[in-house]
Structure 1
């Protein structure tokens, strides 16, 4: 399925394979192969967790008008609400490696799914805007730490299938995103028309995602220790990782170079800004696109379906784009193609939002697939597993910080201008620098080379 990922997997797994000859067959600290049932549980856990990484956001987008009316929110406050996801991802995502070193990634992801469940249960009945924001932040905290640690778990449990497992993870993430967008309004109607019930129902899916991780929390040696080493690699040497795992470092590990100075790399900065701008577009879309269509006269249920179409484009393209990107020495042409689709979609929203709604939803869905492209470029712009971990942490944390003002600014502009013309013009304008930095990030070079220079 992912033949095109060969180049990426070679780049990202070479260092790990050289240090750990048994990497292709994961083993526990005692040297015995991991049990088949544990591997199956990890696959189920990855899929269920990925399904839960966006419904808290897209379900709210589908019912944003009802939530605003029910809580008495202004446009500015609603914009703040749509800015909470990237803020939480930037703040809490940074904590994930440290938590993983202390408790193990499986335990942290399990706690993350529990936090999502609790937040989704509480927020519709929190009794006001402040409580709603606080409960949303709790759910988003769980999403943030799980978001960061999913690639770590994939890397350590499936080192010879990173591409295919990442594709499965990306597909499940896109599926959860689109299903929540499409089904929230019909579920709300079926449950009596209460927006509280329509938002609460997604807690059941999050609760199901807790279950596969519970046995793995107890199996700390099998599930946690190797991944802990990977998390450690993001901030130290391979010897440090082995020492944290309670193992004796080999001579090869003692000679591993320290963490590279990622901020010296222009490619790392370009990739971080690209990640931030594509995240800005994605969260504006998830938070506001359904409302744009509803204000244009599209029924609420159809508006939710349109948002779902935009999100579901990530399911097939999560496989196609990484495969294509790894076959090209320069990913700039893909960046430009996605950007042109975004500009066309925004133009359609500006001039005829209802008349060509399905076409604009498709075009923006293609444009939003800059996310799997960004993840693929993270794997291609570093030579070693430790370099990939550092680049991923830097690009995501910096990128999410960059994306925070976008959804908030859209809400303020919408309220102050009394319409969607100015906000849509802003979205289109942001697409231009996204294309520029994406082309820079797509050049055939590595952050290790630039940091050394």
Structure 2
């Protein structure tokens, strides 16, 4: 894997220079503490960007039948479309560190939101099936760099509030996920019933995200222009992030929790429907699973930031997952509401993983590298899970074996979470 050079960037603001002029850090971004109107703009920008990190995916599912009919899309291509998000998150996420060093994280997030807006606006109307796939990939590429750089933004501009700010933006991710899944069909009906307008509507949210990030980017570009060219005193490191055991543990934890989340989103309604639960109720049960992440994603990072070792939280979430899957295996319909609540708790491992990314690196550049590695490789690890569950269901003719697999994955997830939750930073290991 290509290595990414580390710049020695302090995440905390330096003391003011003797001349009283506050200058940007060596990466060209403003490292002063955020506050007042400036801090408010950063918070708004962070939340709106986070709201856009999942609707590209979750708005498509409710309309997939209509999209297939409208474009003449085969079942094989539709199946490929469900795997595209994880592939794009992995592939384009690896580019985020290099882009961030060249243009600054604010500029890259702004460009990512613009790419997402363009992809969402154009994909319903241009190019048939190939164009739909290509423009979906463009939208997902913008999301991929946002996925990687959100922990970096928090680390750089809110170094003393990593827990609360991570909680805020992961709550916004969960809210965006649920909002798109729940409202796309009613929104499509309100706009006249055409699936193209239903998908197009989400481009407006992405355009809204571009505006505050454009303002922040202009400010940071001025700071970068005023920064002297980096010299030998700033230094670089050519060590590889892959030498860090903590980076690997965090990658495994991220990949395993993503596997569980994708399996739940893809197969949980089918499990309930095969157990005799009505289709409409099965959809509501999935929505409850996702909605559990909205308040808990705000609270969990705040708690994690106060603990010296986050492994206890990883174990607790895995136990919730084990209990939920055990319930699905024993009485999928009888205790359905309890099982989705437990699985919703378990899926909050996503916010814990993002919090630990911000805590397991000392510098802003370290967070960039760790975030890119953990998320890109983690999403690659997550890709086979939903496909394997579908194959096992078809092969065995039931859900006992797939559910047993889902439960078994909770054990290595807990182990990886304990290893990743130790109080150490990757810079010391590499």
* Counterparts in 2 of 1:201 and 1:412: CA distance versus 1, 3 Å: farther
Alignment partner for residue 266 of structure 2, among 260, 277, 287? 287
Asked if 2 retains the 8 angstrom alpha-carbon contact of 1:81 and 1:133, the reply is: yes
TM-score (norm 2): 0.82
The alignment status of 1:17 with 2:12, answered yes or no, reads yes
Asked if 2 retains the 8 angstrom alpha-carbon contact of 1:86 and 1:400, the reply is: yes
Superposed CA deviations along residues 104-159 of structure 1, whole A, max 9, x for unmatched, are 43332222222222222333445655443322211111101122222333333334
The alignment status of 1:109 with 2:109, answered yes or no, reads yes
Q: CA deviation at 1:54?
A: 0.8
Give the Cα separation in 1 of the matches to 2:46 and 2:349: 22
Which residue is equivalent to 2:98? 98
Superposed CA deviations along residues 323-366 of structure 1, whole A, max 9, x for unmatched, are 33334333332222211211222233344444433222211111
Is the partner of 1:109 in helix, strand or coil? helix
Asked if 2 retains the 8 angstrom alpha-carbon contact of 1:93 and 1:147, the reply is: yes
> For residues 388-399 of structure 1, what are the structure 2 equivalents within 5 Å?
388-399=367-378
Give the Cα separation in 1 of the matches to 2:362 and 2:106: 26
Q: CA deviation at 1:52?
A: 0.6
Give the Cα separation in 1 of the matches to 2:248 and 2:410: 17
Asked if 2 retains the 8 angstrom alpha-carbon contact of 1:61 and 1:290, the reply is: no
Give the Cα separation in 1 of the matches to 2:31 and 2:95: 31
Give the Cα separation in 2 of the matches to 1:323 and 1:427: 28
Tell which deviates more after alignment, 433-442 or 136-145.
433-442
Give the Cα separation in 1 of the matches to 2:386 and 2:355: 25
Give the Cα separation in 2 of the matches to 1:101 and 1:257: 12
Give the Cα separation in 2 of the matches to 1:64 and 1:415: 21
Asked if 2 retains the 8 angstrom alpha-carbon contact of 1:73 and 1:129, the reply is: no
> For residues 326-345 of structure 1, what are the structure 2 equivalents within 5 Å?
326-345=305-324
Over the residues paired in the alignment, what is the CA RMSD in angstroms? 3.5
Asked if 1 retains the 8 angstrom alpha-carbon contact of 2:263 and 2:386, the reply is: yes
Which residue is equivalent to 2:60? 60
Give the Cα separation in 1 of the matches to 2:30 and 2:81: 48
TM-score (norm 1): 0.78
> For residues 54-453 of structure 1, what are the structure 2 equivalents within 5 Å?
54-64=54-64, 67=67, 71-74=72-75, 77-125=77-125, 129-222=129-222, 225=224, 246-247=227-228, 254=233, 258=237, 260-294=239-273, 296=275, 298=277, 301-414=280-393, 420-451=399-430
Give the Cα separation in 1 of the matches to 2:179 and 2:50: 13
Give the Cα separation in 2 of the matches to 1:109 and 1:281: 27
Tell which deviates more after alignment, 324-333 or 434-443.
324-333
- How many residue pairs get aligned? The number is 415
Asked if 2 retains the 8 angstrom alpha-carbon contact of 1:82 and 1:283, the reply is: no
* Counterparts in 2 of 1:155 and 1:332: CA distance versus 1, 3 Å: closer
Asked if 2 retains the 8 angstrom alpha-carbon contact of 1:79 and 1:411, the reply is: no
Q: CA deviation at 1:194?
A: 4.4
Q: Which has the higher helix share?
A: 1
Give the Cα separation in 2 of the matches to 1:32 and 1:349: 49
Asked if 2 retains the 8 angstrom alpha-carbon contact of 1:83 and 1:406, the reply is: no
Give the Cα separation in 2 of the matches to 1:257 and 1:110: 27
Asked if 2 retains the 8 angstrom alpha-carbon contact of 1:338 and 1:370, the reply is: yes
Give the Cα separation in 1 of the matches to 2:312 and 2:31: 46
Give the Cα separation in 2 of the matches to 1:301 and 1:395: 36
Q: CA deviation at 1:209?
A: 1.5
Q: CA deviation at 1:370?
A: 0.8
Q: CA deviation at 1:261?
A: 3.5
